[in-house]
Structure 1
Amino acid sequence: MAKRAPWPMVVPAGTTTVGTARVRDDSRPAMTTAQRRIYELTGNPPQTSALDDVEDPFPAHRQHPATLGAKKPAKYRNTKREHEGIKFDSKREMSHWFHLVEQQAKGLISDLKLQVKFELTKRNQRDDGTWERASSYIADFTYIRDGKLVVEDVKSEITRKNGKYVQKRKDMLERYGITVKEI
């Protein structure tokens, strides 16, 4: 095992290496990793005199691309849409709404509704006095066809496999006897 130098270690000025370690130049304080990451995310420079240096690699006047308003894409890559004040979670959902409106105009379906809430479990109090929240399922569309209530949900292949959705779909069948039709 190598013998260590006594602490505090004194390094003479002008020394560039001690053993295999490189000696940092104290004339210009560097940004810490945390300061650099904050700068990269926000574009706000840390409060150091190093940013006054002409050779500074992080000029304060330059705006970082992360702060230019780039939006994070949606989890399932859907594109939210709005038509006549009605907000839709995807282009596909909006397209299906137009199809259902057309069917209602032809008289094939009736009582077309959007975003209908079904209560699956009621709010209950636990033994320790705290409350368990109620759970609900919000269907994209409901309508009546041939005297029977139809519940439809626009789902992609990925969202059909979502565990929470699958459980709520099963609860709808158990509690209301309604099979959710996936589009």
Structure 2
Amino acid sequence: MTKRAPWPMVVPVGTTTVGTARVRDDARPAMTTAQRRIYELTGDPPQTAALDDPTDPFSPTSSTYTVLPNLTAPKKAPKYRNTRCEHNGIKFDSQRERSHWFHLVQQQAAGLISDLRLQVPFVLTERRQRDDGTWERASKYVADFTYLRDGKLIVEDVKSEATRKNRAYVQKRKQMLDRHGITVKEIK
């Protein structure tokens, strides 16, 4: 490792490199390209009150001025390429989940199922205090849909091929079977 120079570093005038670093020239151009073009069009140097000039072709009130749209960064695509949607104030994580909700609502109306519920949490491990006095959070599994069919509780989760293989989901699915004795039915 090389020895660092004391800070603030003093560089003699005329030096072009220090070690492998290039020293910037403090001499700045008198005008930027944009300022030069404005000067060529109007004849007013940018250091004068060109912004207060009513004949300035680039003033905000002139007809050549255009407002750029809000240029924010585009939203990042969801990890599993799902499209979040909403119906009657109910928010769904995907269109497939929403369409399955419609299917279950029709089954409930026909009397095939009862007690249809959406986004039902199940506690998998309780909140516990560690030996050092800090607390470990409880873990839970949130089922997409639960309902009763012939008196038995059915838990359904809408999953794609990719999310079905998710390690966290697989672990929680196994804990649901172990802790509550419930098999999660995956809807493809």
* TM-score > 0.5 by shorter chain: yes
Please report how far the alpha carbon of residue 177 of structure 1 lies from its aligned counterpart in structure 2 after TM superposition: 0.6
| Closer/same/farther in 2, CA of residues 27 and 63 from structure 1, 3 Å limit | farther
Structure 1 match to 2:32:
53
- In structure 2, relative to structure 1, the CA distance for the partners of 1:23 and 1:65 (3 Å cut) is farther
1:119 aligns with 123
Q: Does 2:57 match 1:78?
A: no
> Which deviations, in whole Å up to 9, do the C-alpha atoms of 1:18-46 show, x marking residues without a partner?
xxx987554339xxxxxxxxxxxxxxxxx
Letter in 2 for 1:53: T
Letter of the 2:14 partner, please give it. V
**1:93 aligns with one of 82, 91, 97:** 97
RMSD value, Cα: 3.3
- Letter of the 1:144 counterpart: L
Cα shift at 1:67: 3.4
Distance 1:76 1:63 in 2: 36
1:77 CA drift (Å):
1.0
Query: What TM-score, normalized to structure 1?
Result: 0.69
Cα deviations by residue, 1:79-138 (Å, 9 ceiling, x for unpaired):
111100100000000000000000111111111000001000110000111100000000
Q: Which structure 2 residue ranges, 5 or more long, are not aligned? A: 1-9, 36-64
1:104 is matched with which residue?
A: 108
What is the CA–CA distance in structure 1 between the aligned matches of 2:75 and 2:67, rounded to whole Å? Answer: 16
The alignment's TM-score, normalised by the length of structure 2, stands at: 0.67
The code of the aligned residue for 1:115 comes to Q
2:117 corresponds to 1:138: no
The share of aligned pairs that are identical, in percent, is 70
- Cα distance in 1, alignment partners of residues 150 and 97 from structure 2: 23
The one-letter code sitting in structure 2 at the alignment partner of 1:76 is: Y
The equivalent position to 1:11 in structure 2, one of 1, 10, 14, is 14
- In structure 1, stretches of 5+ residues that fail to align are 1-6, 30-49
Give runs of aligned pairs for residues 144-159 of structure 1, distance below 5 A. 144-159=148-163
3-state SS of the aligned residue for 1:182?
Answer: strand
How many residue pairs are counted as aligned between the two chains?
148
